[in-house]
Amino acid sequence: MPEKVGEIGEFGLIQRISDLLKKEGLQSERVTLGVGDDTASFLPRPGFELLVTCDIMVEGHHYLPEHIHPFEIGRRAMALNISDIGAMGGRPLYALISLGLKPEVPVQYIEEIYRGFLMELNPLGASIIGGNLSKSGNGMFIDITLIGEVEQGRAVSRSGARPEDAILVTGYPGQAAAGLQLILHAPHDSKLLSHPLVKVYRTPSHRALVGRTIGQTGCATAMIDISDGFLGDLDHICEASRVGAELFKEKLPISDGLRDAALILNRDPFNFFLGESDDYELVITCPPQKVALLRTVIAPCCPVPLTEVGRITGSARELTLVLPNGEKRSVRPSGWDHLRFTEEV
C-alpha cells in the first residue's frame, strides 16, 4: 500500500520534502536560512528591485486531479507564478509553497508535485526556500509565493502603453482553453486526451526568459501575461494605461491545433483566442519602430512567433475588432474571474 500523508504526519512530510529539495533542487549562496526555520532569509542584490507574486490552485476549480498527473500539477502551479515575474521583465529567485492536504493523499503524490516545481525552477536557477502545510477538508490546494528581482528602474508594468503603440502577442492564445474543453467534451476518449492542446492546458509554457529579454531592451511600454485571456488581460493594460485598443482579426495568430480543436468542439477558433484562457503568453506594447528590434532580440529564447495584432488608441478602454472587410466591431473583455458565479473547471 502506498504511504499516506496521514501516516507520516506534518513533520514527517516536511522532512521528506526537505530531503527531496536537498537532493534534486538548487541551493542559492544568497539564502542564509532556508527550509526548516521559522522564516527564510536571503541577501538581496544592490541595484535590484524585488518582485513578489502569489497565486493559488484549488483542486476541482483550477485543475481536475483525475485528468492531470501530479508532476504536471506542480509544473503548472509553478509556471503561472514564474510567468508573472517574467511579465515584469524580472527573473525568479525563491519560492515559498503552502499546501492544503487530505491525510489520505499518498506521500509519493506530493513528492511528484515537488518534482514538477523543480522542473520549472531549476533551469532558471531558482529554488524553494520554505512554505507551510495544513490539513484541507474538501480538496487539495497549492499556494505559491514567488520572489524575483529586476534591475532598478527596469520593471515593465501595465501602465505605460501610449496611443499608436503596436500591440504584440507571443504564441497562440486560446490553446489552453480549447485543451480544457476537449477534456470536458470527452473525458474518457484517449484520442482526444492525447490532443496537443490538452498538453498545452496541463503544462502551459511560461515566457519568463522572453519577458526578461524584452525588459532589458527598454523598448516595451507595457507588458502582461495572458492568465485571464487575451482580451481580458489586454483590457487590464488599457485600464492601467487609460487607453484603448484596435485589433485586426486577420492578424490574430490561430494555430492549426486550435483550428482542429475548434472543429471538434464546433466552436469559432477566434472565440477561444479572444476569450478566457490561461496560456501564459505575453501581450506587449511598444513603439511601432521597435517591433523589428524586439523580434530580433527575443529570437534566441522564444520558440513561438511574436505577432503584431493591433495598435493602442486614445479612447480609454474602448476595444475594437477590425474585420477583414474593414468593418469595426466593439468587443468586450471576457477574461477569467475567480470569484464570478460560474461552473467549476
- Using the 3D structure, point to which of 125, 151, 177 is the last residue of a domain: 151
The pLDDT of residue 334: 67
As a whole number, mean pLDDT of residues 100-129 equals 96
Instruction: Say if residue 74 is in the same domain as residue 139.
Output: yes
173 with 300, same domain? yes
State whether 192 and 74 are in the same domain: no
Read off the C-alpha cell for 193: 486526451
The CA-based angle 47-123-80, given to 5 degrees, is 80
Distance spanning both ends of the chain, measured CA to CA = 31
Q: Note whether 281 and 175 are same-domain residues.
A: yes
86 to 83, 187, 345: CA distances (angstroms): 5, 33, 26
Residue 96: pLDDT over 70: yes
pLDDT, tens only, 288-331: 999 999 999 999 999 999 999 999 999 998 999 999 999 999 99
Q: How confident is the model at residue 197 (pLDDT cuts 50, 70, 90)?
A: very high
What SS3 state is found at 109? Answer: helix
Phi and psi at residue 151, to the nearest 5°: -55, 140
Weakest-pLDDT range from 93-102, 189-198, 235-244, 292-301 = 189-198
DSSP summary character for residue 124:
G
pLDDT at 223: 98
Co-location of 10 and 119 in the same domain: yes
In this structure, is residue 336 part of a structural domain?
no
In a domain, 70, yes or no: yes
Predicted pLDDT of residue 186: 84
Residues 130 and 94 in one domain: yes
Please write the tens of the pLDDT for every residue from 255-268: 999 999 999 999 99
Mean pLDDT, residues 182-199: 86
Give yes or no: residues 249 and 283 share one domain.
Answer: yes
In this prediction, residue 263 carries a pLDDT of 96
**How far is CA 195 from each of CA 166, 175, 264, rounded to the nearest angstrom?**
33, 11, 11
In a shared domain, residues 143 and 170: no
| 235 and 174 together in one domain | yes
Cell, residue 106: 499518498
Is residue 45 very low, low, confident or very high in pLDDT (cuts 50, 70, 90)? very high
Distance of CA 126 to CAs 92, 153, 177, Å?
Answer: 6, 22, 29
Contacts of 298 (CB under 8 A, 6+ apart): 210, 213, 214, 306
Mean pLDDT check: name the lowest of 78-92, 192-206, 223-237, 278-292: 192-206
Cα distance between residue 20 and residue 14, in whole Å: 10
Residue 31 domain-assigned? Answer: yes
Residue 338 lies in a domain: no
| Mean pLDDT along residues 242-256 | 97
pLDDT of 99 higher than 90:
yes
Interior angle at CA 57, CA 76 and CA 41, nearest 5: 85
Q: What is the mean pLDDT of residues 273-286?
A: 93
Mean of the pLDDT values across residues 213-238? 95
CATH value at residue 271: 3.90.650.10
Rounded to an integer, the average pLDDT of 61-88 is 91
Q: List all residues 6 or more positions away from 144 whose beta carbon is below 8 Å from its beta carbon.
A: 54, 55, 56, 77, 78, 81, 95, 96, 97, 98
Q: For the chain, what is the domain count? A: 2
| Residue 335 counted as domain residue | no
- Please give the average per-residue pLDDT across 237-247, as a whole number: 97
Report d(CA 287, CA 139) in Å as an integer.
47
Q: Cβ(230)–Cβ(241) under 8 Å?
A: no
Q: What is the mean pLDDT of residues 92-114?
A: 95
Mean per-residue pLDDT of the chain: 92
Same domain for 170 and 105, yes or no, is: no
Residue 170, classified by CB atoms within 10 Å of its CB into exposed (0-12), middle (13-18) or buried (19+), is buried
Among 126, 151, 176, identify where a domain stops. 151
158: in domain: no
Higher pLDDT, residue 193 or 209: 209
Whole-number Å distance between alpha carbons of 211 and 54? 18
* Same domain (yes/no): 73, 20: yes
User: How far is it, in rounded angstroms, from Cα 98 to Cα 141?
Assistant: 8
Is residue 221 domain-shared with residue 118, that is, in the same domain? no
| Range 24-48 average pLDDT | 90
The residue-averaged pLDDT of 73-97 equals 96
Domain edge (last residue) among 151, 178, 196: 151
Residue 336 has pLDDT above 60, yes or no: no
Q: Encode pLDDT of 123-175 as tens digits.
A: 999 999 999 999 987 789 999 999 999 999 999 999 999 999 999 999 999 99
pLDDT at 16 exceeding the cut of 90: yes
pLDDT band at 344 (very low <50, low <70, confident <90, very high): very low
Query: What pLDDT score was predicted for residue 83?
Result: 96
Residue 344 maps to a domain:
no
pLDDT of residue 340 exceeding 60: no
CATH number where 108 lies = 3.30.1330.10
Reported pTM? 0.91
- What is the residue range of 95's domain? 5-151
Residue found by looking up cell 513603439 in the block? 287
User: Would residue 67 count as lying in a domain?
Assistant: yes
